[in-house]
Amino acid sequence: MCLGRRRLLFRLAGLVRLGDSVQYGSYSVIQIGDGIYQLADRGDPKARLGGLIGVDMYLILGTSKALLIDLGNNYVDGFPGDLIPPRKNAAAELLAVLDGLRGKLPLEAAITHAHPDHDGMTRAFAGRKEILWMPKGEDLEAPRKQHGIDPSVYTVFDHATKTFDLGGGRVVKPLLVRGHSNGCTSYLLAKDLMLFTGDSIGIGAGRSLRSAASLKVFAEDTRRLVEYLQKELTPFERHSLKVFTGHSVENPIAGFYSADHPMLDIDWLDWRFVQDQALCAAAILKGGWTEPDSGLRMMEVTNKQTGRRVNVMLYGIGAIEIPVQAVYEAAGLALPQ
């Protein structure tokens, strides 16, 4: 049930300690920092496909501006082919939460990538003043194809030059991590030691990639991400880094993907995961699974969403789901007959 607006404001004011949460509409609003919130939509267990089972947005308040990272699942459009039925009051509920949290601060929104579970609430901002940012490299026509929205509602930014200065030392730096999509972006909030990764490096169960070409750019960009974090943060800071993904509901993993192990309690990910994703990709390019001591393992597991048997490459706590053919192609090795 929706709360009245005054009651919502009263409850949002009760978000004080880390982990405090308020439920409103389909959103759990969780305090993850001082003026930093996760808007977790746990999704519909009956819905199909990965993005539909729960997606997160993040709101960061500075002293002069507020930034929303990602635009959530699509409950607004009812666009033909959309797998989520439109939900009454979806736009009003999201805007009420955002307006309640930001107060008088001007708001901007930046998506991690232009997939429907991350730009699905675009239409909620129709006729409003917010700047909506899309990373360079993403499919500019995606809003039209997915939701029938004119893509000109988005302003494209270049990772090389763009930063979001929210005031009070809160500067958010977008970092390109291709592989899942061509402009897929992680956002670093160095002051608070938080990295918002969307789908760029994956969830606790890893990142799925479809081709050798995707793996190659993923390897290149995750290596660059690791180098950037090593340069920008001290060792102590890196090990305090909290990594917030686009689908935190999927973060808990069963040890090495086995259904026989209890699930690990993973809420957010960390510096170790960032490194192991980069190391996993790098080890695949070197054909590491053919060497017993490389640390890279290849195994077949059942994908929990699709029920299909898939190939997974594991390195530490890093994992990449990718077809066997793509792995051999990426390493420049002949596929065994």
Q: Residues in the site for Zn ion, rule: CB under 5 A?
A: 51, 117, 199, 246
Supply the minimum distance, in Å, between the C-beta of residue 49 and Zn ion. Answer: 10
Supply the minimum distance, in Å, between the C-beta of residue 245 and Zn ion. Answer: 9
Nearer to Zn ion, 240 or 305 (CB): 305
Supply the minimum distance, in Å, between the C-beta of residue 116 and Zn ion. Answer: 9
Nearer to Zn ion, 204 or 246 (CB): 246
Q: Strands across the sheet with 164-165, in order?
A: 164-165, 171-176, 185-189, 194-198, 242-245
Tokens of 81: 């082919």
Nearer to Zn ion, 31 or 208 (CB): 208
Supply the minimum distance, in Å, between the C-beta of residue 181 and Zn ion. Answer: 10
HEC-encoded secondary structure of the chain: CCCCHHHHHHHHCCCCCCCCEEEECCEEEEEEECCEEEEEECCCCCCCCHHHHCEEEEEEECCCCEEEECCCCCCCCCCCCCCCCCCCCHHHHHHHHHHHHHCCCCEEEECCCCCHHHHCCHHHHCCCCCEEEEECCCCCCHHHHHHCCCHHHEEEECCCCCCEECCCCCEEEEEECCCCCCCCEEEEEHHHCEEEEECCCCECCEEECCCHHHHHHHHHHHHHHHHHHHHHCCHHHHHCCEEEECCHHHCCCEHHHCCCCCECCCCCECHHHHHHHHHHHHHHHCCHHHCCCCCEEEEEEECCCCCCEEEEEEECCEEEECCHHHHHHHHCCCCCC
Nearer to Zn ion, 41 or 117 (CB): 117
CA 304 to CA 122: how far, in whole Å?
29
Supply the minimum distance, in Å, between the C-beta of residue 70 and Zn ion. Answer: 9
CA 278 to CA 223: how far, in whole Å?
5
Nearer to Zn ion, 203 or 279 (CB): 203
Supply the minimum distance, in Å, between the C-beta of residue 51 and Zn ion. Answer: 4
Nearer to Zn ion, 51 or 72 (CB): 51
Nearer to Zn ion, 117 or 220 (CB): 117
Supply the minimum distance, in Å, between the C-beta of residue 202 and Zn ion. Answer: 10
Nearer to Zn ion, 25 or 51 (CB): 51
Tokens of 23: 């439920």
Query: What are the residues facing 174 on neighbouring strands?
Result: 187
Supply the minimum distance, in Å, between the C-beta of residue 123 and Zn ion. Answer: 18
Supply the minimum distance, in Å, between the C-beta of residue 247 and Zn ion. Answer: 6
Nearer to Zn ion, 117 or 276 (CB): 117
